[in-house]
Amino acid sequence: MTTTASEADRAAAHFRFFTMEVLRTRRLGHSFLRVTFGGESLADFRSGGFDQSLSLFLPVGDAEHAELPSTDEDTWFGAWRAMPDEERPVMRSYTVRDQRRTDAGVDEVDIDFVLHGDASPASRWAGRAVTGRRIAAIGPAVAQNKSVRFQPPAGTGTFLMYADETALPAAAAILDRLPAGTAVKAWFEVPHADDRLTLHTAADADITWIVREKGTARADRVVEAVRATELPAADAPYAWLAGEAGTVRAVRRHLVQERSVDRRAVRFTGYWRLGATEEQLLAEAYAGQAPNEDPTSAL
Ligand SMILES: Cc1cc2nc3c(=O)[nH]c(=O)nc-3n(C[C@H](O)[C@H](O)[C@H](O)COP(=O)(O)OP(=O)(O)OC[C@H]3O[C@@H](n4cnc5c(N)ncnc54)[C@H](O)[C@@H]3O)c2cc1C
């Protein structure tokens, strides 16, 4: 029997289920809502920082909480998939923007949600989040885990970063951790001028904000902004690109084909795709996987 990478990860219990409870919410900008979660199980939550992601399970319809058939790390995925469509909790990927233990000993996790309308399950859930509301999540139990995708090789020169609003929480968490003396060129694309959040970093970060304009093809504008930026010659850059899949692909193509960035030094992730729900993206991921293999690692 062959052991897949994701089976090996499960065996090592890199991830486990957590019940998180909304402690408070705070609006960060036009599109962003920070939800701070607590809950006793978070004492075992171990974010690896940077772009650490987790999966949330949202209730279907107007139900208060998602009912999962199993929270056993080895069997949940098959049991969840076997549920009828109309009962299966909705699974969505989000970023651990921050994790802390307060002076009072409370474990807290922040997630920054983009509010993009009431018709989509995760955006709707976040828009209605109130103190005390619970949510199930599968998240990191060890800090070294495969859901931290930002893995620059030793000797990296300049860091190149592209993020749209969905990946801005991850980009901000990466910037939080980059040390002084690190050269960063970043292009951050947001829907509104007041989504240009204040970001903190010790790195030497040159950030270009691209405020989306209605009717402007997003990929073209972003590539134009990257093309207009002078990149240091021959200093082994590492590129981290995340956001809408089509734009991410266009930026990657530009860096590899026009700017000669080594394709092995480009980490790119489509966080969502225009016109496709996460179910549709997962269905595409399932198509290439064994029936019980958890495809969330592909997200
Ligand atoms: C590893 C990873 C980390 C992520 N981290 C974050 C995070 O920290 N914060 C965050 O907000 N998102 C994050 N995302 C993106 C988020 O998972 C998607 O935006 C997801 O589709 C939202 O689910 P939904 O139920 O609101 O919309 P869905 O039901 O999945 O989609 C419904 C429709 O809305 C569109 N859509 C999806 N997202 C957006 C958007 N932001 N703006 C406009 N239209 C959209 C889809 O194309 C589709 O047509 C992350 C994704 C990944 C893979």
Residue 35 contacts by C-beta under 8 Å, 6 or more apart in sequence?
A: 22, 25, 110, 111, 112, 113, 126, 129
* Ligand 1, atom 33: closest residue by C-alpha: 277
**In 88-244, where does DSSP find H-type helix?**
121-127, 168-177, 218-227
Residue 184 lies inside a defined structural domain of this protein: yes
Note the pLDDT of residue 12: 54
CA of 121 to the centre of ligand 1 (A): 10
Rounded Cα distance, 125 and 106, in Å: 24
Are both 31 and 123 inside the same structural domain? yes
Determine whether the shortest distance from the Cβ of 188 to ligand 1 is under 6 A.
no
Task: Please report, as a single letter, which amino acid is at residue 82.
Answer: A
Q: Which of 146, 171, 189 is the last residue of a domain?
A: 146
Determine whether the shortest distance from the Cβ of 94 to ligand 1 is under 6 A.
yes
Contact 21, 45 (CB under 8 A): no
Are both 175 and 127 inside the same structural domain? no
Q: Which of 121, 146, 171 is the last residue of a domain?
A: 146
Contact 122, 272 (CB under 8 A): no
| pLDDT tens string 100-120 | 999 999 999 999 999 999 999
Residue 31 contacts by C-beta under 8 Å, 6 or more apart in sequence?
A: 114, 115, 116, 165, 190, 191, 192, 195
Mean pLDDT of 136-164: 96
Are both 17 and 117 inside the same structural domain? yes
Are both 171 and 81 inside the same structural domain? no
Position 14 pLDDT exceeds 80: yes
Mutate to test the pocket of ligand 1, among 120, 192, 279, 284 (most ligand atoms within 8 A of CB): 120
CATH of the domain at 208: 3.40.50.80
Banded model confidence at residue 65, pLDDT cuts 50, 70, 90: confident
The lowest-confidence range among 16-20, 96-100, 126-130, 279-283 is 279-283
Banded model confidence at residue 1, pLDDT cuts 50, 70, 90: very low
- Which tops the pLDDT comparison, 291 or 151? 151
- Which tops the pLDDT comparison, 22 or 6? 22
Determine whether the shortest distance from the Cβ of 296 to ligand 1 is under 6 A.
no
* Ligand 1, atom 18: closest residue by C-alpha: 272
**In the chain, where does DSSP find H-type helix?**
5-11, 76-81, 121-127, 168-177, 218-227, 245-253, 278-287
End-to-end CA distance of the chain: 26
CA of 230 to the centre of ligand 1 (A): 31
Which ligand 1 atom lies nearest to the CA of residue 111?
8
Residue 289 lies inside a defined structural domain of this protein: no
Residue 279 lies inside a defined structural domain of this protein: no
Residue 242 lies inside a defined structural domain of this protein: yes
Residue 282 lies inside a defined structural domain of this protein: no
To the nearest whole number, what is the mean pLDDT of the chain? 90
Are both 134 and 164 inside the same structural domain? no
Mutate to test the pocket of ligand 1, among 34, 166, 168 (most ligand atoms within 8 A of CB): 166
* Ligand 1, atom 53: closest residue by C-alpha: 271
Percent of the chain with pLDDT over 90: 78
Are both 129 and 22 inside the same structural domain? yes
Are both 142 and 246 inside the same structural domain? no
Position 293 pLDDT exceeds 90: no
Banded model confidence at residue 203, pLDDT cuts 50, 70, 90: very high
Are both 15 and 124 inside the same structural domain? yes
> Can you give the pTM of this predicted structure?
0.93
Number of domains comprising the chain: 2
Are both 117 and 28 inside the same structural domain? yes
Residue 292 lies inside a defined structural domain of this protein: no
Banded model confidence at residue 5, pLDDT cuts 50, 70, 90: very low
Determine whether the shortest distance from the Cβ of 267 to ligand 1 is under 6 A.
no
| pLDDT tens string 43-54 | 999 999 999 999
Q: What Cα–Cα distance (Å) separates residue 245 from each residue in 97, 122, 225, 268? A: 21, 18, 18, 9
* Ligand 1, atom 23: closest residue by C-alpha: 122
Position 289 pLDDT exceeds 70: no
Q: Which of 123, 146, 169 is the last residue of a domain?
A: 146
Residue 126 lies inside a defined structural domain of this protein: yes
Position 2 pLDDT exceeds 50: no
Note the pLDDT of residue 280: 87
Position 297 pLDDT exceeds 50: no
| pLDDT tens string 206-241 | 999 999 977 677 899 999 999 999 998 778 999 999
Are both 19 and 132 inside the same structural domain? yes
Are both 80 and 188 inside the same structural domain? no
Mean pLDDT of 71-100: 93
CA of 271 to the centre of ligand 1 (A): 7
CA of 255 to the centre of ligand 1 (A): 25
Are both 122 and 200 inside the same structural domain? no
Contact 251, 241 (CB under 8 A): yes
Determine whether the shortest distance from the Cβ of 53 to ligand 1 is under 6 A.
yes
User: Domain range spanning residue 246?
Assistant: 159-272
Residue 248 lies inside a defined structural domain of this protein: yes
Q: Which residues pair with 16 in a beta bridge?
A: 139
